[in-house]
Structures are given as structure tokens and as C-alpha cells.
Chain A
């Protein structure tokens, strides 16, 4: 089901200050996709999720789920969360400690007065789906973090909602388990025809899971797009910087060519992926460290940059090095085999496709 959010605004007042948790947000979440709200903490992503699910009431705007208006200030519509028929996985999982696994998962069906035998069957199937068959009678609090997470997922899925919401569901797991669970979650959701709205501040999680990502900042949606678009072709410096490690270099547009934009910057004249900026506009050149492939020595030619190794940090699979080019310092990853030392001259050629221009 499609979720349409129009003009939703929500403010908090704390210690005399007004905080715009949501500032006139317009967003359409397409049906049957994994849609991620990504942003730094305090950007309003969780508030937006809670407005969709009905745990929080916005001050203005309208929210509709699958064509049905669930909240509208103007039309005075406010459907309580229990009538919206959604599924949700909470950050803390919110597994009820006084119930066993079966009762936790069966709860959404029990409150809908589903027939007992049907409940047993559907709980069994759902637990099987999340690979927890046979755990029915376990006390829910005795499970591991990953298992609790799957109980929470089963509970969210058991009533077959058309929309499921995730509020940072992996943030309480340790790094290794988080990666496994993320893969599982993607596999689970891929098998279902369901609209999933996923809130996270972890960019890797967002990139790996999502069909579409919306980046939020200070209560506003900054940019919406596929993970590839967001990572490689971001329109805003904030997005480019937030979604991955990036070298941001001040630049000025020199000329526009057919499929390239030339800029002047501290690295010299660089040909970049074409963007429609006027000539002489101040922009930011964004180069991701993984696209800087350095070699020892000096070189020449278009987009070739020469510099010196300024510092090196060994991080296991590579050296993270800073390359000094005049006043600029670029972060690059260097193969451990390269055998470079601090002070060595290095050279690299930038591919125009990986030189991204974003507005300041």
C-alpha cells in the first residue's frame, strides 16, 4: 500500500525552545518497497514513523495509507494506532516479558478475535518463516538478541499487514549479528508483498536493505532516491557526505561540456560528471576514497593529480592514507602491498564519472 504524507508538521517545546521535529514534510512511499528514512539522530525520522503509525499526532498536514486518510488536521480525522492495521518492529523490540514466544506472536490475532485453531496455525507458520519453529513455549525474555528481534518481526508479520514499520530494529545488536540479521531481514521482506518503512541512522544498513532511501535533516526530507543514486549521484553535499566517506573539495565551475563539467579547485582543473551549474558557481567536488587509486611517482594528463603521502594508518585490509596536494588533504585507501611511506610522491587519475559535483 502506498503511504502519502502531505504537509506534516510537528514541533516540540523544550526549555523554552521550539524544535521542528517535522517541518512541512511531503513524501510518497511507494507500495511494496523497502523504503528507508535515513538521517542523523534528531532529524525527525522516528517522529515521522510514529506519525505514520499513529503513536504521535502531527500539528498539521495529512497522512493516508493505501488511499485511506488516517490523519488529517483539516478534516479532523484521527484514526488511533490500533485501528490502522499496521505491523511494527520497535527499537527495543518491545517483547512483552510476561508472555512466552507464542503469546507474543499470537497477540495481534488474539485481539482481532481470530479463531483459536487458526491462531495456532498462523503463529506456527510465521515462526517457521522467521526460523523460530519450536520456540513457542520459551519465555520471550530468555532469548538472545537476534532471536528476540525475530520474535518482534514475527509478531509484526503475523496479522499480514500491508505495511510494516521498523524503528532502528538492528541498533541493539552487536556488529556481526547486525550484518547477519540485516541479510535475513532483506530475504524475509523480499518474499512478501509488503510495504516496509525502515528508520535508521546507519548508512550501510540503509544502502544494503533499501529499494528507496529518503535522507532527512532537521525535520525535512533532503533527497529521495535509490541507494545507487544517493551514493553516486547525490544532489546535495549533506547527502553525499552523510551516505559515505567523502573528500569534499571547494570548487568553482569553469566550463560546461556536453557530458562533463570542468571545475577549478585545489587539485587543478578537474573534469567531472555533468551537472547543470552555471559557470563561475561555487560548488563542492565530492570524491569517495575508494575511487582514488594511487601509484608511486608522478604523472601527467587530464584529471591526473600528483601529491605526497601525508600520513598512513593501517586498518587491516588497507592503509588509510592522507594525500597532500597543495593545500588540500584527500583521504585515500592504499593497498598494503604498495609499500608506500610517508613523504613518498604519489599520483592518481580521477574518473570523471566518480567526480561528483554537489551544491554547497
Chain B
């Protein structure tokens, strides 16, 4: 192997290792040290204090119910949707693409807020309507509850679960089911004994990823859990470091270590499962067209369910925010509400220096962060796919590690780390933290792009007489552009909405959009929140469209 490649790989291992391992190390050191920094005297006090806390048991029970409930619900829904899409004659299948992609553009924080606006027990719009229609004494639903949190978190995790299960279901060799039928099993028994077991790795992978995501979720617990005093680990940690008089980072770190360990373990389970899922992929080269199950009379009711889900996940949150941003205070839509509409909240937000600052900071972080992150991802992707050495294997594991980082926990590690540097309380701290935490979002599309650039494609261009530069320009770059574009989009979209890491790292002067929105939510300023939220959604949508347009110019051929 040539030494330049080896040097590149080692350099990347050092950079990525530094980015991902240092916050973990700082977290571990901090959890064992006396005082406020990570380098105090060794002590076990923090652990003793953290794990003898009476509140912890309640928090753990809540967390378990929340995490398992939302993951199960998301997986079941995803399975149901994937089955309908790939195996039945349900109409308007484009809805499934919308369902799996659009919700990613709506930040979790805003999605949670829109549900709070609809279903909070005091003046939630849907509650108010139901109360007046059925003349109830009390609001029928309370979103500030474990059930409400589970529902909203499940809807948020649904697209990811769907994107894991649907391809597995599509690449499923239908002959496996057909043979079961021929050998005497009815459709129900075939489903239980063949279809579900063959899909088991994919189903489990979706479930495990759901667990990791809901364990790290901060938006839903903070917006829907804290008002109803339903604390889970993420909000428990947040309370320790951000609320009250005596913030205790050490105690939070002691709890965080267990959360981190759980997450890291689960993410490696997830990787093993997806590897197994690929092994189970059984589709034949020239498969017979799968027999589509005719839904018959169930077609319209099932479609209604899907349409309703799409409405709830895509239209409703944006509509609620847009509406709230125009009315003076929370009210049920009516003629009067429409007559009172004004741009008051919009002008206030656009004149609010803090909101403008956060907007500026978030835009900078998205553009600069995504660009730097993509550049790093290109090199990491290259080293992981094209350089097959022990070092590149380590690099792959390292670059995947941060996928499991719960933002709040790793934020504490980063904070201790940045305190030691001049970067503390600057925008650069956030930039470095973002890139480190979201690196897998860039590396994964780049790695799959590099897989496509088979060495033969490069070599045949050279044999045809093209110079290495021409080969680079005509062959390699065009093949990589889709990967670069999706890496950039994913990272920019993640950065514009970033909340969990930011609530720990952002300081006066380095506010970002999500933190500002959370502040509005705490103060009950729903109108301003909605206006700022719509701006946030507009920016991330614009970024996606822009990047897609740029990518399309470079792309020589449309992928089939």
C-alpha cells in the first residue's frame, strides 16, 4: 500500500478519534472528579449522589416506558406502512415517499410544539374544539403525559424505521412466501412463520435505532414532558445542569455515563443487525413480479389511515405553526380568529435582536459546518471504502461511534473539553461539537458513493487515454456528486435545527435557533415561537432544494 494513503488514514484516525473520543474521555474524567472541572481530585461522590437520588427511580421507569413504547409504536407503524406500500395495491403510493422524507425537514422541536398547541389540556386547539362539540367538562386529551410523549416520539421516529424496513421488505424474495403457501400453510401462518422471521433483523434494527433515538431525544421530553412533570433521563440531566440554583455537571455526567454506555452498546447491536439483514436479503437476479395482494374492500379504509398519517405528520404541524404565528394568542380557528390575524409576531421576531442573532448563528453553523463536515466526510469515506487496512477499520468504527451519542450527555463532555481551550463560549465550540456529533450523517452517504466508484471505472478511463485529472473531472467527481450533495444536505438540515447539544454548549452570544425557540416555549410565547419556527423550516427546506438543484447540474445521468 502506498505510504500517502497510509498517512492519510492515520491522520484521519487522529482527527476523528480526537473529535469523538475526547468528549467521552472528558465526560468520564469529569464524572470522577471533585469540583467543577474535569481535572479535580478523584472522587466517587458524584456517582453515589447521582445513583442514590430518589428521583432517579421514577425517571428510569418513565424513560423505560417512553423509550420502549415509542420504539414499539414506531416499528409497528413502519412495518404496517412498508407492507402496504410494497405488497398491496393501495392507491397513491407516492404518499409513502412523502411520509418517509418530508417529516425529516420538520424539526422535532417544532413538531412537538405543534402537538402541544393542539392537545395541551388548558387551551389546546383540538381539545377546545372537542370540548365545545361534545360539551365536555375537561379536555379529553392531555399531551403533557407519557402517552402523549410516546405518540409524538413514535411519529418522529417513524420515517427512519420505515426507511430501514421498507427496503428489506422490497428486496424480500416473494418465493419464500409462495413456497410456504404451496406446502400447506395459509396466509396467516405464512406471515407468522416466514415473512416476519425473515424480516426480523430489519425489524429489530428499526426498533433498536428507535430506542437509541428516543433515549437521546430531548425535544419531546422538554416540550411535552416537563410541563406535566414527566421526567425522563434527558430532561433529568437537563434539570441538573441548566435549571435550579446548584447546577451539578459532575452528577449529570455520572448518570450520563450509563446512558452513553447503553447507547453505544445498542448502536453496535444495530450494526450487527443490519449486517445480518443484508445477509438475509434473498432476492433473485430475475425475480418474478411479486404478486400484489388485492385489498378489496379494505383498500379505501386502509388508504384513509395512510392519508390521515401523512396529514398528521406533514401538513398539520406546519399548518398549526403558521396559524399560530398570525393570531394574537392561542385560539380555535374561527371567523373572529381570522379577522384578528396580523403580522405582529413576525415583525416582533424580526426586530428581536436575540432571534436575529440566533438566526445568524444557525445559518453560519449550517453553511460552514456542513461544508467543513462534508470535506471531512469525503476523506473519511474514501479511507473507509478504498483503503482496506486495520487503521481504516478503526476509522469506520470511530466515525460511526458518534451516531449513538445522546446530545445532552456528550454536550457535557464537550463543555469540559472546551473550557480547557479558548474556544469556550464561542460559535466555534458549537461548530466543532456539531461536526463531531453528526459526522456519521456525512460519512454514510460518502461511503456509499465511494462504493459505486469501482476501481475499474477509474482504470478504464485511464486506459482510454484520459489523464488522471480528466479522469477525476469526468468520472470520479460526477459519480461522487450525489453523495456529496446528500451529505451536505443532511448535515446542514441537522445543524439548522440542532437542539440537544446546543442547549448545553450555547452561551449568551452563541444562541442558535432551536435554543431560542425552546426559550420562547418556556415563556409561552407561542406566536413568536411559531414565526421563528416557520423561518427555521423555510431555511432547511430552501437548503434541501438548493443543494438538490446544485447536485442536478453536476449529475450526468439520472440514477435509475
A contacts, CB < 8 Å to B: 46, 50, 53-56, 80-88, 90-92, 94, 96-99, 107-108, 111-112, 141, 155-156, 159, 172
* A155 (CB) vs chain B CBs: closest residue: B183
Inter-chain contacts of B189 with A (CB < 8 A) = 111
Q: Does B333 contact A (CB under 8 A)?
A: no
B197 touches A56 (CB 8 A): no
B280 touches A98 (CB 8 A): yes
B173 touches A92 (CB 8 A): yes
Other 12 A-B pairs with CB < 8 A, given A55-B291, A80-B181: A50-B288, A81-B178, A82-B184, A83-B184, A87-B183, A92-B282, A96-B197, A97-B282, A107-B180, A111-B180, A112-B184, A141-B279
Q: Is the interface of A mostly helix, strand, loop or mixed?
A: loop
Q: Given A94-B175, A98-B200, A98-B280, A88 and B287 touching (CB < 8 A)?
A: no
Q: Please tell me which one of the listed residues B179, B186, B197, B279 contacts residue A94 in the complex, with CB atoms under 8 A apart.
A: B179
Inter-chain contacts of B197 with A (CB < 8 A) = 96, 98-99
Q: Does B149 contact A (CB under 8 A)?
A: no
Inter-chain contacts of B184 with A (CB < 8 A) = 82-83, 85, 108, 111-112, 159
Q: Please tell me which one of the listed residues B185, B198, B282 contacts residue A82 in the complex, with CB atoms under 8 A apart.
A: B185
Q: Does B455 contact A (CB under 8 A)?
A: no
Q: Kindly state the separation between the CA atoms of A85 and B279 in the bound complex, as whole angstroms.
A: 31
Q: How far is the CB of B512 from chain A (nearest CB, A)?
A: 46
Inter-chain contacts of B173 with A (CB < 8 A) = 92, 94
Q: Kindly state the separation between the CA atoms of A112 and B184 in the bound complex, as whole angstroms.
A: 7
B182 touches A53 (CB 8 A): yes
Inter-chain contacts of A111 with B (CB < 8 A) = 180, 183-185, 189
A90 touches B178 (CB 8 A): yes
Q: How far is the CB of A305 from chain B (nearest CB, A)?
A: 43
Q: How far is the CB of A175 from chain B (nearest CB, A)?
A: 16
Most chain B beta-carbon neighbours within 10 Å: one of A50, A92, A172: A92
Q: How far is the CB of B95 from chain A (nearest CB, A)?
A: 23
Q: How far is the CB of A118 from chain B (nearest CB, A)?
A: 15
Q: Does B176 contact A (CB under 8 A)?
A: yes
Inter-chain contacts of A88 with B (CB < 8 A) = 179, 182-183
* A55 (CB) vs chain B CBs: closest residue: B178
Q: How far is the CB of B311 from chain A (nearest CB, A)?
A: 32
Q: Does B356 contact A (CB under 8 A)?
A: no
CB-CB contacts below 8 Å: B250-291 with A = 279-280, 282, 284, 287-288, 291
A-contact 0/1 string along B465-507, CB 8 Å cutoff: 0000000000000000000000000000000000000000000
Q: Kindly state the separation between the CA atoms of A70 and B175 in the bound complex, as whole angstroms.
A: 21
Q: How far is the CB of A268 from chain B (nearest CB, A)?
A: 46
A-contact 0/1 string along B407-440, CB 8 Å cutoff: 0000000000000000000000000000000000
Q: How many residues of B contact A (CB 8 A)?
A: 25
Q: Kindly state the separation between the CA atoms of A99 and B176 in the bound complex, as whole angstroms.
A: 12
Q: How far is the CB of A284 from chain B (nearest CB, A)?
A: 32
Q: How far is the CB of A329 from chain B (nearest CB, A)?
A: 34
Inter-chain contacts of B185 with A (CB < 8 A) = 82, 107, 111
B182 touches A81 (CB 8 A): yes
Inter-chain contacts of A84 with B (CB < 8 A) = 182
A92 touches B287 (CB 8 A): yes
Q: Does B194 contact A (CB under 8 A)?
A: yes
Q: Kindly state the separation between the CA atoms of A141 and B183 in the bound complex, as whole angstroms.
A: 20
Q: How far is the CB of B273 from chain A (nearest CB, A)?
A: 13
Q: 10 shortest A-B CB distances, which residue pairs?
A: A94-B175, A108-B183, A94-B179, A92-B284, A98-B197, A81-B181, A90-B175, A111-B185, A111-B184, A88-B182
Inter-chain contacts of A97 with B (CB < 8 A) = 176, 198, 279-280, 282
Inter-chain contacts of B180 with A (CB < 8 A) = 96, 107, 111
Most chain A beta-carbon neighbours within 10 Å: one of B182, B184, B189, B291: B182
* A168 (CB) vs chain B CBs: closest residue: B286
CB-CB contacts below 8 Å: B232-247 with A = none
* A158 (CB) vs chain B CBs: closest residue: B183
Inter-chain contacts of A96 with B (CB < 8 A) = 176, 179-180, 194, 197-198
Q: How far is the CB of A239 from chain B (nearest CB, A)?
A: 25
* B173 (CB) vs chain A CBs: closest residue: A92
Q: Kindly state the separation between the CA atoms of A50 and B181 in the bound complex, as whole angstroms.
A: 12
Q: Kindly state the separation between the CA atoms of A90 and B189 in the bound complex, as whole angstroms.
A: 20
Q: Kindly state the separation between the CA atoms of A190 and B176 in the bound complex, as whole angstroms.
A: 27
Q: Kindly state the separation between the CA atoms of A55 and B193 in the bound complex, as whole angstroms.
A: 19
Q: How far is the CB of A103 from chain B (nearest CB, A)?
A: 9
Q: How far is the CB of B194 from chain A (nearest CB, A)?
A: 6
Q: How far is the CB of B247 from chain A (nearest CB, A)?
A: 50
* A86 (CB) vs chain B CBs: closest residue: B182
- A selection of 15 A-B contacts at a CB cut-off of 8 Å is A46-B288, A50-B288, A55-B178, A55-B182, A55-B291, A80-B186, A82-B181, A84-B182, A91-B284, A96-B194, A96-B197, A97-B280, A111-B183, A112-B184, A155-B179
Inter-chain contacts of B182 with A (CB < 8 A) = 53-55, 81-82, 84, 86-88
Q: Kindly state the separation between the CA atoms of A99 and B175 in the bound complex, as whole angstroms.
A: 15
Inter-chain contacts of B280 with A (CB < 8 A) = 97-98
Q: Kindly state the separation between the CA atoms of A182 and B47 in the bound complex, as whole angstroms.
A: 69
* A113 (CB) vs chain B CBs: closest residue: B184
Q: How far is the CB of A138 from chain B (nearest CB, A)?
A: 15
B200 touches A94 (CB 8 A): no
Q: How far is the CB of A21 from chain B (nearest CB, A)?
A: 11
Inter-chain contacts of B193 with A (CB < 8 A) = 107
B175 touches A92 (CB 8 A): yes
Q: Kindly state the separation between the CA atoms of A217 and B456 in the bound complex, as whole angstroms.
A: 40
Inter-chain contacts of A56 with B (CB < 8 A) = 291
A-contact 0/1 string along B179-217, CB 8 Å cutoff: 111111110010001100110100000000000000000
Inter-chain contacts of B178 with A (CB < 8 A) = 55, 81, 90, 94
Q: How far is the CB of B441 from chain A (nearest CB, A)?
A: 31
CB-CB contacts below 8 Å: B219-234 with A = none
Inter-chain contacts of A80 with B (CB < 8 A) = 181, 186
Inter-chain contacts of B176 with A (CB < 8 A) = 94, 96-97
* B189 (CB) vs chain A CBs: closest residue: A111
Q: How far is the CB of B470 from chain A (nearest CB, A)?
A: 40
Inter-chain contacts of A141 with B (CB < 8 A) = 279
Q: Kindly state the separation between the CA atoms of A287 and B287 in the bound complex, as whole angstroms.
A: 37
* A53 (CB) vs chain B CBs: closest residue: B182
Q: Kindly state the separation between the CA atoms of A86 and B197 in the bound complex, as whole angstroms.
A: 24
Inter-chain contacts of A99 with B (CB < 8 A) = 197
A82 touches B186 (CB 8 A): yes
Q: How far is the CB of A153 from chain B (nearest CB, A)?
A: 12
CB-CB contacts below 8 Å: B161-182 with A = 173, 175-176, 178-182
Q: How far is the CB of A99 from chain B (nearest CB, A)?
A: 8
A-contact 0/1 string along B139-178, CB 8 Å cutoff: 0000000000000000000000000000000000101101
Inter-chain contacts of A46 with B (CB < 8 A) = 288
Inter-chain contacts of B291 with A (CB < 8 A) = 55-56
Q: How far is the CB of B375 from chain A (nearest CB, A)?
A: 40
* B288 (CB) vs chain A CBs: closest residue: A46
Inter-chain contacts of A172 with B (CB < 8 A) = 284
* A97 (CB) vs chain B CBs: closest residue: B280
Most chain B beta-carbon neighbours within 10 Å: one of A84, A86, A107, A159: A107
Q: Kindly state the separation between the CA atoms of A222 and B284 in the bound complex, as whole angstroms.
A: 30
Q: Kindly state the separation between the CA atoms of A99 and B189 in the bound complex, as whole angstroms.
A: 15
* B283 (CB) vs chain A CBs: closest residue: A92
Q: Kindly state the separation between the CA atoms of A133 and B173 in the bound complex, as whole angstroms.
A: 27
